[in-house]
Structure 1
Amino acid sequence: MTLSGTARKLAGFGLALVVAFAAAYGVGQAVGPVAAEPEPAAAEHEGMGEQAGGEHGDEHGAVAAPKGLQVSADGVTLDVLSGGQRAGVRGDFAFRILDDHGAPVTRFAPTHDELMHLIVARRDLSGFRHVHPTMAADGTWRVPLTFAAAGDYRVFADFLPAGREEATTLGADVAVTGVYRPTPLPAPARTATVDGYRVTLSGTLTPGTTSRVTLTVDRGGEPVTDLQPYLAAYGHLIALRQGDLAYLHVHPDGEPGDGTTRPGPSITFYAEVPSGGTYRLYLDFKHGDVVRTAEFTAVAGPHEER
């Protein structure tokens, strides 16, 4: 597939306006209600036919595998250099992207204003971070990072090597020493609060259909209508599936400056989720020059009586 202009830009961050989470990978999946009715199929939404990483399903509806489950893919490997991470200790987290000959990759194209996006989450889906490392001349990426609590973490490197049309997302496990106290996954909920902001989730995640999901931001009961662009969008929605931590990142319908997209209070996403399971959703949004993250638990799949 060849992308250009805005389409290439949206593909670059391992995402697109429609993101497909493929077939039933993994462990720890659960089923239960999410909400509302399913939306029409992806083909009915203009410009909504792309999957995660800019890949398309075939004419029979086949979809690409979830991103972030592999340490090597597309001829490149995520090489984590930092070891002996300790809980609560700030330090540089370092890694490289190696080519299929083991040499560091040093040429990247920007996606959503950055050359590299690093997503971090503990395996119990707590401790979420979205940061942007910087690269040295030798291809080593570094970013100051504090792992707040002990446990096993998953790091996701999301990037576009120069000369390629599609982004790659690679994942690796990182152990953080200390006393491990697992955090129970919060129950599914329609609202989340962060720093005095309330974010309300509406819509559904229904496997095998294109789902319209809208997140609405208010503060003190007043709608926030002046969201600021952050990485070329009014919001970024990341989902990690419980168990295998399969990864998707969806950007909203429309973009700042397109003449039609309003800066809040609502941000609408379209996502195709062919497999059921429990997901943790993380919405990054910017207001008052501060980026905040609202977190939700959602369950994709038909309701099952327990």
Structure 2
Amino acid sequence: MEQKYSVEDLLHLMAQLRNPDSGCPWDLQQTFTSIVPSTIEEAYEVAEAIEREDYEHLHEELGDLLFQVIFYSELGREKSYFDFPCIVDTLVRKLVRRHPHVFPNAELYGSAGTEAVDEAQVKQNWEEIKAAERSAKGDAGTLAGVTLGLPAMTRAAKLQKRAARVGFDWPDVHGVLDKIEEEVAELREALADGDDDHAKEELGDLLFACVNASRHLKVDPEAALRGCNRKFEGRFGFIEASLRDEGRQVSEASLEELDSLWDKAKAQSEG
């Protein structure tokens, strides 16, 4: 059986890529800031592989994401900020601290927990511990610590979840749907007034309300929109393919033809 490489080998590889004398010119030019877009892209590729149930390639996508962590750890080591063992140590300590029902003595290899707890209690403990951690950092507000770097839709969902934990929430999804209808009406009013700034604001309120609906339905809004994007791509691809069979481009078809083909694509995908 072929010998498999280890995390230590990966750390060695990264150090060689960043070797000032013999490393890769591209890797040597990178900084914490420059590789952030790649990190975000790799995270989304992991999510896409899972949503497609492409488990054959998931391990490869996870490796690409892990490499981002390894890259950051090497940059941190070079500047004496932190290194990979520091990242692992901080993570393990945090997870042990946040799972007192599993590690009652706050020790990884201590006696196992015996107290029976359900999922709701685990979530409550988790949030209380996280709140205490934020408070220790000086972030005491309910909405504190929700990073600005998140996609706006994901951040909206997190802000709403935080507010819901202290009782600021709709009792059920029907109240949210009423709010969506209210926001649509306000957007129509802003458009009728010709007020672009107001329309932009109302559109934001509408999107925020839609995220609230997804939260009540226990659906990740980003995942729902990604699924919609894939559906749109498939149906639009059907339109293009149909027109190509006729020797035409999409731009050469009338809107009525495009709508008819869209209905056919929709019927095909739903059939």
Give the structure-1-normalised TM-score. 0.21
Q: Which has the higher contact order (CA 8 A, sep 6+)?
A: 1
Q: Which has the higher strand share?
A: 1
More helix by share: 2
Larger radius of gyration: 2
